[in-house]
Chains A and B, each alone.
Chain A
Amino acid sequence: MPKKGTKSKKVVDDVANEQENKLPDYLELQRTRVVCNADAPIHTLGFQYSGAFAAMGVDNSVSVEKFCKNFKVEINRLTEDDIEFDMIGVDASIANAFRRILIAEVPTMAIEKVFMADNTSVIADEVLSHRLGLIPLDADPRLFDYISENDVPNERNTIVYKLHVSCPKGSQRITVKSSELEWLPEGSQLSMASSAQSGDKQKTFTSFSKSQKQILEKPLGVKFKDITIARLGPGQAIELEAHAVKGVGKVHAKWSPVATAWYRMLPEVVILEEIKGDNAEKLVKKCPVNVFDIEDLGNGEKRAVVAKPRACTLCRQCVMKDDGQKIELRRVRDHFIFTIESTGALPPEVLFTEAVKILEEKCEKVISELS
Chain B
Amino acid sequence: MEHGSLTDLSASTFSIMEEDHTLANSARFVLNQDPRVAFCGYSIPHPADRKVNIRVQTTGDPAKDVMKDALQDLMVMCQHVRGTFDKAVANHKSKKSAEEMDVDRK
Choose from A50, A71, A359 the contact partner of B37 (Cβ within 8 Å). Answer: A50
Is B88 within 8 A of A94, CB to CB?
no
Cα separation A50 to B33 with both chains bound (whole Å): 5
Cα separation A48 to B29 with both chains bound (whole Å): 7
Residues of A within 8 A of B88 (CB): 73-75, 85
Cα separation A352 to B85 with both chains bound (whole Å): 9
Residues of B within 8 A of A359 (CB): 22-23, 26, 74, 78
Check: B49 CB closer than 8 A to any chain A CB.
Answer: no
Q: How large is the interface on B (under 10, 10 to 19, 20 to 34, 35 or more residues)?
A: 35 or more
Check: B71 CB closer than 8 A to any chain A CB.
Answer: yes
Most A CB within 10 A of own CB, among B2, B78, B86, B93: B78
Interface residues of A in 59-87 (CB under 8 A from B): 59-64, 67-68, 71-75, 78, 85
Tally chain A residues at the interface, Cβ within 8 Å.
Answer: 43
Interface residues of B in 43-97 (CB under 8 A from A): 64, 67-68, 71-82, 84-89, 91-93, 96
Is B71 within 8 A of A363, CB to CB?
yes
Residues of A within 8 A of B20 (CB): 100
Tell me, rounded to whole Å, the shortest Cβ–Cβ distance linking B29 to chain A. Answer: 4
Is A49 within 8 A of B32, CB to CB?
yes
Interface residues of B in 9-54 (CB under 8 A from A): 14, 16, 19-23, 25-26, 28-29, 32-35, 37
Cα separation A93 to B76 with both chains bound (whole Å): 16
Tell me, rounded to whole Å, the shortest Cβ–Cβ distance linking A228 to chain B. Answer: 35
Is B33 within 8 A of A93, CB to CB?
no
Choose from A62, A75, A100, A371 the contact partner of B22 (Cβ within 8 Å). Answer: A100
Is B26 within 8 A of A64, CB to CB?
no
Residues of A within 8 A of B78 (CB): 356-357, 359-360, 363
Tell me, rounded to whole Å, the shortest Cβ–Cβ distance linking B47 to chain A. Answer: 13
Interface residues of A in 15-48 (CB under 8 A from B): 48
Cα separation A90 to B77 with both chains bound (whole Å): 10
Is B80 within 8 A of A68, CB to CB?
yes
Is A71 within 8 A of B81, CB to CB?
yes
Tell me, rounded to whole Å, the shortest Cβ–Cβ distance linking B33 to chain A. Answer: 4
Is A367 within 8 A of B68, CB to CB?
yes
Check: A277 CB closer than 8 A to any chain B CB.
Answer: no
Check: A101 CB closer than 8 A to any chain B CB.
Answer: yes
Is B93 within 8 A of A370, CB to CB?
no
- Given contacts A51-B35, A93-B26, are A64 and B89 in contact (CB under 8 A)? no
Is A93 within 8 A of B34, CB to CB?
no
Cα separation A67 to B76 with both chains bound (whole Å): 10
Cα separation A70 to B75 with both chains bound (whole Å): 17
Check: A295 CB closer than 8 A to any chain B CB.
Answer: no
Cα separation A204 to B30 with both chains bound (whole Å): 52
Is A64 within 8 A of B77, CB to CB?
yes
Cα separation A255 to B34 with both chains bound (whole Å): 37
Choose from B16, B32, B35, B85 the contact partner of A356 (Cβ within 8 Å). Answer: B85
- Given contacts A64-B77, A363-B78, are A72 and B84 in contact (CB under 8 A)? yes
Residues of B within 8 A of A112 (CB): none
Residues of A within 8 A of B26 (CB): 93-94, 97, 359
Residues of A within 8 A of B21 (CB): 96-97, 100
Residues of A within 8 A of B86 (CB): 353
Residues of A within 8 A of B35 (CB): 50-51, 59, 61
Check: A239 CB closer than 8 A to any chain B CB.
Answer: no
Check: A118 CB closer than 8 A to any chain B CB.
Answer: no
Check: A364 CB closer than 8 A to any chain B CB.
Answer: yes
Residues of B within 8 A of A93 (CB): 25-26, 28-29
Give 6 CB contacts A-B under 8 Å: A64-B77, A101-B22, A359-B74, A363-B71, A363-B75, A363-B78
Which A residues fall within an 8 A CB radius of B? Answer: 48-51, 59-64, 67-68, 71-75, 78, 85, 90-91, 93-94, 96-97, 100-101, 105, 349, 352-353, 356-357, 359-360, 362-364, 366-367, 369-371
